[in-house]
Amino acid sequence: MSTSAKEPRVITSVLVANRGEIARRVFRTARSLGLSTVAVYSTADADAPYVDEADAAVHLPGNAPGETYLRGELVIEAALRAGADAVHPGYGFLSENAGFAQAVIEAGLTWIGPPVDAISSMGSKIEAKKLMAAAGVPVLAELTPAEVSEADLPVLVKASAGGGGRGMRVVSRLADLPGEIEAASAEALSAFGDGTVFCERYLPAGRHVEVQILADQHGTIWAVGERECSIQRRHQKVVEEAPSPLVSRIPSMRPLLFDAARKAAAAISYVGAGTVEFLADEDGNFYFLEMNTRLQVEHPVTEETTGLDLVELQIAVADGLKLSDEPPPTVGHAIEVRLYAEDPHHDWQPQTGVLHKFAVDPSVRVDSGVEDGSIVSPYYDSMLAKVVAFGPDRTAVARRLAGVLERATIHGVGTNRDLLAWILRHPAFLAGETDTAFFATHGIGGAAGSAEMAALAAALADAAGRTGPVRVPSGWRNLASQPQRKSYRVGETTYDVEYRLTRDGLVVEGNIQLVESSPERVVLEIDGVRRVFEVAAYDGLVCVGSVNLIPVPRFVDPSEQVAAGSLVAPMPGTVIRVGVKVGEVVKQGQPLLWLEAMKMEHTIAAPVDGVVGELKVEAGQQVEVGAVLAVVGENA
């Protein structure tokens, strides 16, 4: 901390060195404490909600994190210019950067975070594991890449610096190890500026359990309950809950976990809020993974089950507060889901664009960085919101949260909303079977509602909105004639709709009756069951329930077509690697290029067997969505 127990300082104004949801979250508590707030924002974030909510805001020119939120000197300068006397780092970006914390302190500002030495100690996972082992905390043995043998497989290659799933690879074949180490090292270097990686034994179906720590400057260390975050994609958490179903099943595990977490904090003289993460097996054995020296994304589930405001306590501890001897008990159950702008059914591909409408039932907690009209840009993480439900019973909480998600209005970008609802209703989840192999075991469900019926509803709503002088809907015919035809694209699939509107009503194939239609609402009776479709049309997009449809024009501009075999960028991003040369023979599915966007690495693979005819990009180049990256022709 920047202050000591002997030299208390009173915080009056807080700059949040972050953006989006976490900036709004910290501002909310700061305002309740009577503190003034300062935001920093990139050019892309100029119109973001958190900027307007701050009492003062300072522009960081540029868009990419390396130009803006990762420029510690600019953030500190902003704090001084705006009159802030404290800096809260949030999570991500500079939150676990010991150099930044030291610079904040040297600038005469209060650092709302742990001591610099504690951050530094946990900054290297390799060194952290050695420290924890010495403190008596269970650890998985570290393996140097040269030591790995067939008997050790599978192993996990991990970046020593950073987290969030970056620089991590699971290796099941010894022959794949060198290539995966190279790839993990390159990704770690790009993400964290440090390409150091190591290996450890991989538990394919482990449980990710973590303990919330809060420590003051007077030697008191709280273990504030545990969370389970086992359901993950790309080693990044999707669903988090407190308490852990595994620990609740093995009650003797909880005191051992808490003791290990307190030992970890004491070993580095920790102060402030932090999280000690463990990998556990079904028998309750657990091993230290890492310590996050910051507030976690999933902190709301701990707040909901304890009644604490962890941000308020962070500020109070920075002000010199002495904690009571014991934390409050955990009561009830809380579940948080991360609502991402992404397509789970296409390799979790992030989605960008205008979020036309965003509304979630206020009966649950919604920590969000977006609102109606927000732009989901390619520069940052694709998380839109954290949706959290709390109650006395885990099953009831899961079902209520699933219903809230299903009824949410989210127009403009595709999300993982339906996947999240599917998880919460899955029998395995309700039974507490939530290991890290959840998706590998159960697949990726939760596809959006019937795209065919959504396309039909979109076409009928469009027809209802196109009336002539006598208010007759478009496509109506007094006598039977050719059907009206419309096409809509959902993802990579095109749905063709045919219908007739006659004096007898809607005529389509199948047992479907049109009950009513308007531009915003279509009611159909399908096989004797009446169903309502809410429709919202925007420029180039029609949203029907949770289905996003792109109208396909009948006539395509030839200049907008690309050559056969072209590989196009699925999103804006940066080309970080090119793995082939012009003239090289490639196989279908072979990785050709790697694109980095929205904190994720995406592989662009050959669509067919063939020869690389053209390479349009090189490493380091920025590309826009739809840009042609390469062309693969057929073998001669």
Specify the pairing of strand 600-605 against strand 591-597.
antiparallel
User: If you classify domain 451-551 with CATH, what class do you get?
Assistant: alpha beta
Cβ neighbours of 323 (radius 10 Å): 18
Cα(432)–Cα(333) distance, integer angstroms: 13
What number is the average pLDDT over the span 83-108? 97
- Pairwise pLDDT comparison (586 vs 473), residue with the higher score: 586
Catalytic pick from 254, 294, 394, 400? 294
Cα(300)–Cα(362) distance, integer angstroms: 15
- Pairwise pLDDT comparison (504 vs 367), residue with the higher score: 367
Contact 160, 202 (CB under 8 A): no
Q: What residue segments make up the domains of the chain, in order of their start?
A: 13-112, 212-442, 451-551, 559-633
Contact 155, 201 (CB under 8 A): yes
pLDDT of residue 601: 76
3-state SS of 105-173?
Answer: HHCCCEECCCCHHHHHHHHCHHHHHHHHHHCCCCECCEECHHHCCHHHCCEEEEECCCCCCCCCEEECC
pLDDT of residue 346: 85
Cα(443)–Cα(67) distance, integer angstroms: 39
- Pairwise pLDDT comparison (465 vs 294), residue with the higher score: 294
Examine the residue annotation and report whether 294 is marked as an active-site residue of this protein: yes
pLDDT of residue 6: 45
Contact 242, 333 (CB under 8 A): yes
What number is the average pLDDT over the span 351-367? 96
Residue 392 above 80 pLDDT?
A: yes
Contacts (Cβ under 8 Å, ≥6 apart) of 610? 565, 585, 586, 632, 633, 634, 635
Residue-wise DSSP of 210-274: EEEEEE-TTS-EEEEEEEE---EETTEE-EEEES-HHHHHSTTHHHHHHHHHHHHHHHTT--EEE
Residue 422 above 90 pLDDT?
A: yes
Return the closest-CA partner of residue 379 out of 191, 187, 186, 573: 573
What number is the average pLDDT over the span 482-503? 86
H or E element: which one contains 486?
strand 484-490
Q: Is the pTM of this model over 0.85?
A: yes
Cα(352)–Cα(571) distance, integer angstroms: 7
Fold of 212-442: D-amino Acid Aminotransferase; Chain A, domain 1 (3.30.470)
In this structure, whether the domain defined by 559-633 belongs to CATH 2.40.50.100 is answered with yes
* 464 CB-side CA count, 13 A: 21
Mean pLDDT over the full length of the chain: 90
What number is the average pLDDT over the span 546-559? 79
Task: Give the CA distances from residue 412 to residues 26, 397, 488, in Å, rounded to whole numbers and listed in that order.
Answer: 27, 28, 15
Band the pLDDT of 2: cuts 50, 70, 90.
very low
- Residues pairing with 36 in the sheet: 13
Band the pLDDT of 558: cuts 50, 70, 90.
low
Token reading at 160? 């020593």
Q: Tell me the pLDDT tens digit for each residue of 167-179.
A: 888 999 999 999 8
Task: Determine phi and psi for 91, rounding to 5 degrees.
Answer: -130, 155
pLDDT of residue 105: 98
Task: Determine phi and psi for 14, rounding to 5 degrees.
Answer: -115, 125
- Residues pairing with 493 in the sheet: 490
What number is the average pLDDT over the span 400-404? 98
Return the closest-CA partner of residue 244 out of 179, 301, 318, 174: 301
C-alpha angle 57-372-355 in degrees, rounded to nearest 5: 100
What number is the average pLDDT over the span 16-39? 98
Residue 100 above 60 pLDDT?
A: yes
Return the closest-CA partner of residue 37 out of 16, 59, 60: 16
Q: Taking each helix axis from N to C terminus, what angle separates 417-425 and 394-407, rounded to the nearest 10 degrees?
A: 150
Residue 216 above 80 pLDDT?
A: yes
Cα(425)–Cα(588) distance, integer angstroms: 37
Band the pLDDT of 568: cuts 50, 70, 90.
confident
Band the pLDDT of 450: cuts 50, 70, 90.
confident
Residue 315 above 50 pLDDT?
A: yes
Q: DSSP letter at 34?
A: T
Band the pLDDT of 76: cuts 50, 70, 90.
very high
Residue type at position 291: M
Cα(443)–Cα(159) distance, integer angstroms: 27
Specify the pairing of strand 573-578 against strand 86-88.
unpaired
Cα(530)–Cα(513) distance, integer angstroms: 9
Contact 274, 265 (CB under 8 A): yes
Task: Give the CA distances from residue 386 to residues 35, 53, 217, 379, 498, in Å, rounded to whole numbers and listed in that order.
Answer: 25, 19, 31, 19, 40
pLDDT of residue 8: 55
Task: Name the most confidently modeled range: 277-281, 377-381, 468-472.
Answer: 277-281
| Helix and strand totals (H; E) in the chain | 16, 41
Q: Tell me the pLDDT tens digit for each residue of 220-264.
A: 999 999 999 999 998 899 999 999 999 999 989 999 999 999 999
Return the closest-CA partner of residue 63 out of 49, 50, 44: 44
pLDDT of residue 475: 55
User: What size, in residues, is the chain?
Assistant: 636
pLDDT of residue 448: 65
User: If you classify domain 13-112 with CATH, what class do you get?
Assistant: alpha beta
Contact 204, 132 (CB under 8 A): no
Residue type at position 159: A
Band the pLDDT of 501: cuts 50, 70, 90.
confident
Q: Tell me the pLDDT tens digit for each residue of 275-285.
A: 999 999 999 99
